[in-house]
Amino acid sequence: MSAEPVLTLADLAAWARPGTSLAVLGHPIKHSVSPAMHNAALAQLAAVDRRYAHWHYFRFEVPPDDLPRALKLLQAARFHGVNLTVPHKVIAFGRLARVDAAAQPAGAVNTLRLEPAGWHGFNTDGYGLATAIRAELGLPLAGAHVLLLGAGGAARGAAVECLRQGCASLAIANRSAENLRALLDIVRPLAGAIPVRGFAPAEAPADLPAGMIVINATSAGLRSGDPAPVDLAALPRPAAVYDMIYNPPRTPLLQAAAALGLTHAHGLGMLVHQGAKALELWTGVPAHCTAPAMAAAARAALA
Ligand code: NDP
């Protein structure tokens, strides 16, 4: 775990640090590996360009009601960039000077950059997911049949990215029918000619195609004793399984994938690639240059 201390709004109100400051805001934030990832990448950049020796990435514990004040204080303190994690990605959406067009359909932002007009919001989670699936499963989302598990915030971003990349079809399975319906209502207008359907995980239609990429965007698997969010053995044989959960690294879903001999990966790559893309938005350094240092730091922080 990174030694980066957990700061609060009181620290921010008295901020006097020279140099370029970056931060992640969350509630809770104690377990975030983002400070370790970003500071490792900044150290790598500083070794070849001394400007980055004055950059540092901090963590702030910010309860949801304090987010508006936090954004004002960060702007006043001239923070250059901010990452947002649970529960701020959606709350921040309506409070920014500008939101990147690609982040609009997701209704959530995870990266902010300070510009003369104020905070400019982006969402790098979709890039992180697509890049990790391509790199670790060897599969593009473009042209893929996708089975997405879940209907929360992460599933919404994933569904938007699958459609944006031009998947062949999108099937969404979720435990609660109400949340599933809400996600389908958001996703269908974005789908164009791409077939989209939804169902309960135990009621998968018999005509699902073989060779799907199964993406877990539920939190089932975070806690020990959680069930797998779907019975993989009951589906037509998938091409591969991606679980957004990375801690623990072997969820019941990934154990089932391994038992069936399916290519699979946990979600650390997504975390790394969204982080590298955020750093690219702040520095201009291409994400693929900093992703390896971030991955090594994330693995060490979680070990
Ligand atoms: P939300 O709370 O918004 O959504 C949770 C989802 O999980 C809902 O669809 C919920 O179903 C489902 N769910 C929860 N418990 C169970 C269960 N026991 N069985 C079946 N389904 C269940 O969470 P997020 O969307 O923000 O996050 C989802 C997951 O994605 C988390 O594990 C998170 O760690 C991970 N994530 C990983 C990222 C990465 O970079 N790797 C980035 C973002 C998220 P229902 O609607 O029925 O309640």
pLDDT tens digits along 20-72: 999 999 999 999 999 999 999 999 999 999 999 999 999 999 999 999 999 99
In this structure, the residue with its CA closest to atom 38 of ligand 1 is 244
Q: Helix 34-48 to helix 287-302 angle, to the nearest 10 degrees?
A: 130
Q: Which atom of ligand 1 is nearest to the CA of 226?
A: 18
Contacts of 78 (CB under 8 A, 6+ apart): 21, 114
User: Rounded to whole angstroms, how far apart are CA atoms 58 and 185?
Assistant: 37
Is-contact 182 153, C-beta < 8 A?
Answer: no
- Cross-strand partners of 81: 22, 113
Q: Which of 124, 218, 245, 274 to mutate to test the pocket of ligand 1 (most atoms within 8 A of CB)?
A: 218
User: Rounded to whole angstroms, how far apart are CA atoms 129 and 235?
Assistant: 23
Q: Which of 219, 230, 247 to mutate to test the pocket of ligand 1 (most atoms within 8 A of CB)?
A: 219
Torsion of CA 282, 283, 289, 294, to 10 degrees: -50
Q: What is the DSSP letter of 248?
A: S
In this structure, the residue with its CA closest to atom 7 of ligand 1 is 218
Per-residue pLDDT, 240: 98
- Cross-strand partners of 84: 25
User: What is residue 274's three-state secondary structure?
Assistant: helix
pLDDT at 1 over 80: no
219 lines ligand 1 (CB under 6 A): yes
Average pLDDT for the chain: 96
Q: Mean pLDDT, to the nearest integer, of 254-276?
A: 98
150 lines ligand 1 (CB under 6 A): yes
**Could you tell me the pTM of the whole model?**
0.96
Contacts of 303 (CB under 8 A, 6+ apart): none
In 232-280 the beta strands, taken as DSSP E runs, fall at: 240-243, 263-265
Q: Read off the pLDDT of residues 150-205 as tens digits, 9 standing for 90 and up.
A: 999 899 999 999 999 999 999 999 999 999 999 999 999 999 999 999 999 999 99
H-run or E-run covering 83: strand 81-84
Residue 89 designated active-site: yes
Per-residue pLDDT, 2: 45
220 lines ligand 1 (CB under 6 A): yes
Q: Helix 34-48 to helix 268-283 angle, to the nearest 10 degrees?
A: 50
282 lines ligand 1 (CB under 6 A): no
Half-sphere exposure of residue 152: CA atoms within 13 angstroms, side-chain side: 11
Q: Read off the pLDDT of residues 102-118 as tens digits, 9 standing for 90 and up.
A: 899 989 999 999 999 99
90 lines ligand 1 (CB under 6 A): no
278 lines ligand 1 (CB under 6 A): no
- The percent of residues in the chain predicted with pLDDT above 70, rounded, is 99
247 lines ligand 1 (CB under 6 A): no
In this structure, the residue with its CA closest to atom 39 of ligand 1 is 271
Domains of the chain are: 6-123+269-302 (3.40.50.10860), 126-265 (3.40.50.720)
Q: How far is the CA of 272 from the centre of ligand 1 (A)?
A: 19
Q: Which atom of ligand 1 is nearest to the CA of 89?
A: 26
